Chains A and B, each alone.
Chain A
């Protein structure tokens, strides 16, 4: 089974702190994603990466950056956390059609609270 592991399930940070959210997948997927989930808004794509050191902005990249130094690891960075970044963050990896099943495989989520 594909396993996507998010290192922190719950975090509490203060406004202005730098926050790192780490995600590791074990299926050698090239594509990895960071979503943000808020009630009534569904999942919104923050950033995605389709190869090591390659990244693209999603729909809501402002206030976030990402790092992909190794294929299995994709990190989300909040340079200066703000209260409106309090949310559930979901990491996922992807097996595209033609190479796999077209499914997204999700981690358990990281619930971030910014005070």
Chain B
């Protein structure tokens, strides 16, 4: 069975500082990894994904994520946080063998960026 862990319920960072939201995963086979963001009372929006290739993936709104196979991690990063980045972030994983079930999600991390 595949799983995703987001060890931090909340991350607080000052505006202008770099941010990291952590994610580790467990799968059999090669992982396909995703980050989604959710603003209050909205659905989830796709941020970025890792399928294959370069371990550093760039996505929307200046976010990037680094795939680390040995540590089974896929941490979300941004060099300079904005107050508008405050939201709920979900990491998700799937594999080619997962088939119809699509993604397995972590429990989410709330990012709070203080002015």
Interface residue ranges, A against B (CB under 8 Å): 4, 6, 9, 31, 33, 40-43, 45, 48, 50, 56, 58, 90, 92, 94, 96-98, 101-109, 111
Instruction: Name the interface residues of B73-107: CB closer than 8 Å to any CB of A.
Output: 90, 92, 94, 96, 99-103, 105-107
Given known A-B contacts A106-B45, A108-B43, A43 and B102 have beta carbons under 8 A apart: no
Q: How far is the CA of A79 from the CA of B105 in the complex (A)?
A: 27
Pair count A-B, CB < 8 A: 63
Interface of B: prevailing SS: mixed
A41-B44 contact, Cβ under 8 Å, with A31-B102, A94-B102, A97-B32: no
Q: Is the CB of B101 within 8 A of A90?
A: no
Q: CB distance B90 to A43 under 8 Å?
A: yes
Closest to A110 in B: B43
> In the complex, A107 Cα to B105 Cα: how many Å?
16
Task: Determine if A106 and B44 form an interchain contact, defined as CB atoms under 8 angstroms apart.
Answer: yes
B residues contacting the other copy or chain, number (CB 8 A): 25
Is the CB–CB distance between A102 and B106 below 8 Å?
A: no
Among A42, A48, A103, point to the contact of B101 (Cβ < 8 A).
A48
- B42-A109 in contact (CB<8A): yes
Q: Are A42 and B106 in contact (CB under 8 A)?
A: yes
CA distance A106 to B42 in the complex (A): 9
Are A33 and B102 also in contact (CB < 8 A) when A40-B9, A41-B107, A43-B90 are? yes
In angstroms, how far is the closest chain B Cβ from the Cβ of A97? 6
Assuming the contacts A31-B100, A103-B46, A103-B49, asked whether A43 and B34 have C-beta atoms less than 8 A apart, the reply is: no
Q: Is the CB of A109 within 8 A of B100?
A: no
A106 to B47, CA, bound (A): 13
Centre residue among A42, A94, A98 by max chain B CB count within 10 A:
A42
Point out which of B34, B41, B45, B101 has the most chain A C-beta atoms below 10 A from its C-beta: B101
